[in-house]
Amino acid sequence: MLWRMIESFEFKGPEAGPAVLFFGAIHGNEVCGPKAIRRFVDELQSGVRSLQKGSVTFVPVCSPRAYEANTRYCEENLNRIFKRTENPTSYEAALANELAPFIERCDVFLDLHSMTASGKPFIFIDFPSDATHALARSLPAEMAIVGWPELYKRPETEHDSFDTTTYAAEHGKAGLLIECGQHEDPEAAEVAYRAIENTLIHCGVLLGNAPENDLTIIEMDRVFFRKSEAEKFAKDWQHLEHVNKDEILFYDENGAPVTAPYDAYVIMPKESAKVDEEWLYLGKKISA
């Protein structure tokens, strides 16, 4: 199996301190991370910025082949199979083996993503703790989603999720994932850039003041996988759009309506999902 070496950049401050890690393009078509990371790396290399303490490592493109093809993944979703395996059976499984050591070596980890639907940036706090909440409040987003790991552990979900933040949590790291905006929206790269800056300030690696935002927290409750090409959304759902109990979410392959079981928020709707991919999620607001 041939693949390009994974490119990474590391910078060290003059004193000991936290090791911070950023991943871009775990999904190949999510270009905000690579753009923001390259801009930040340029600023550190040229001396426009310098670190106060600790270190920062950047992996601008975690999935080079998918990035070149501008596609989410080549063989398997890297962010559902992220774990070490002895005999990797796919391109992404081999990538996971290459990328896992970066997470094992860091203290704080941020995974930069973008999404298909348009909507405001938001954060996944998959492993809530004082450390992850404090980091989340420093990021350029107003909303955070909790409950992803619990949702994927339920037997009725019937799919696993081995992802980067799970891997980080298993190794005792504070890890978050930020969805910076819509894939093609240039603003998403700005959000990713500010997320890098604020994370480094929050950790004391850069000097400055990081915000402490109030976050609206939505708890994931349900995932619908697309079962057939014949399924159709009832409307052009926006990310984090409110849906009332009994409102039609989509029509199944027989044209029968599938309705919301309760008042909820639609999360990451993906009209173009392939069969067996995530189609949409539902969540409930638990705090504002």
Span interacting with Zn ion, options 23-31, 198-206, 262-270, 278-286, rule CB under 5 A: 23-31
Q: Which two tokens stand for residue 50?
A: 């310098």
Supply the minimum distance, in Å, between the C-beta of residue 78 and Zn ion. 9
Nearer to Zn ion, 73 or 237 (CB): 73
CB atoms within 10 A of CB 149: 16
**Taking contact as CB under 5 A, which single stretch among the options 6-14, 21-29, 130-138, 275-283 is the one that binds Zn ion?**
21-29
For the CB of residue 72, give the shortest distance to Zn ion in the complex, in Å. 7
Query: Between 63 and 199, whose beta carbon lies closer to Zn ion?
Result: 63
Binding range to Zn ion, per CB under 5 A, among 24-32, 93-101, 181-189, 195-203: 24-32
CA 90 to chain centre: 21
Site string for Zn ion, 95-114 (x = CB under 5 A): ------------------x-
- The minimum distance between CB 253 and Zn ion, in angstroms, equals 27
Q: Give the nearest residue (CB) to Zn ion.
A: 113
Binding mask 41-70 for Zn ion (x = CB under 5 A): ------------------------------
- Asked if 268 contacts 278 with a C-beta cutoff of 8 angstroms, the reply is yes
Residues 6+ away with beta carbon under 8 Å from 241 = 265, 266, 269
Asked whether position 183 contacts Zn ion by CB under 5 A, the answer is no
Say how far apart CA 222 and CA 208 lie, in whole Å.
39
Of the residues 11, 13, 17, 27, which one makes contact with Zn ion according to CB under 5 A: 27
- Considering beta carbons, is residue 33 or 140 the nearer one to Zn ion? 33
Examine residue 137 and tell whether it contacts Zn ion (CB under 5 A). no
**CB under 8 Å to 228, separation ≥6 — which residues?**
252, 253, 275
Nearer to Zn ion, 124 or 237 (CB): 124
- State the nearest-atom distance from the C-beta of 29 to Zn ion, in Å: 8
Cβ at position 115, least distance to Zn ion in Å: 7
From the list 224, 244, 227, 214, the residue with the least C-alpha distance to 156 is: 224
> Does 239 sit near Zn ion (CB under 5 A)?
no
Summarize as ranges the residues that interact with Zn ion (CB under 5 A). Answer: 27, 30, 113
